[in-house]
Amino acid sequence: MSTVMKAMCHLLKVKQVRTSVYHPQTDGLVERFNHTLKQMMRKMIEIDGKDWDQLLPYLMFAIREVPQASTGFSPFELLYGRRPRGLLDLAKETWERQPSRHSTVIEHVEQMHRRMAQIWPMVRENMQQAQQAQARVYNRGAQGTPEVTMGKQLTGHQIQDLRELLERNRDVFSKLPGRTSIIAHHITTEPGKKVRLRPYRIPEAQRDTIREEGR
| Residue 36 belongs to some domain of the structure | yes
User: Domain range spanning residue 52?
Assistant: 29-99+106-134
Runs of H (alpha helix) within 97-180: 105-141, 156-168
At 1 the pLDDT is 59
pLDDT tens series, the chain, 215 aa = 578 888 878 887 787 777 777 776 677 777 778 888 888 888 777 766 677 777 788 888 888 888 887 788 888 887 777 778 777 776 776 777 655 566 676 776 677 777 777 777 777 777 788 878 878 887 776 666 666 676 677 788 888 888 888 887 776 666 666 665 555 666 677 777 777 777 777 787 777 777 776 55
At 145 the pLDDT is 62
Q: Quick: pLDDT tens for 137-161.
A: 877 766 666 666 766 777 888 888 8
Q: List the one residue out of 79, 162, 65, 179 whose CA is nearest residue 123.
A: 79
B/e letters for 73-101, b = 16+ CB within 10 Å, e = fewer, are bbbbbbebbeeeeeeeeeeeeeeeeeeee
| Residue 181 belongs to some domain of the structure | no
| Residue 147 belongs to some domain of the structure | no
| Residue 77 belongs to some domain of the structure | yes
| Residue 142 belongs to some domain of the structure | no
| Residue 62 belongs to some domain of the structure | yes
* Enclosing H/E stretch for 69: none
At 99 the pLDDT is 57
CB 74 within 8 A of CB 64: yes
| Residue 123 belongs to some domain of the structure | yes
| Residue 81 belongs to some domain of the structure | yes
At 215 the pLDDT is 59
Q: Structurally, how many domains does the chain consist of?
A: 1
d(CA 79, CA 76) in angstroms, rounded, equals: 5
Q: List the one residue out of 130, 122, 29, 119 whose CA is nearest residue 78.
A: 119
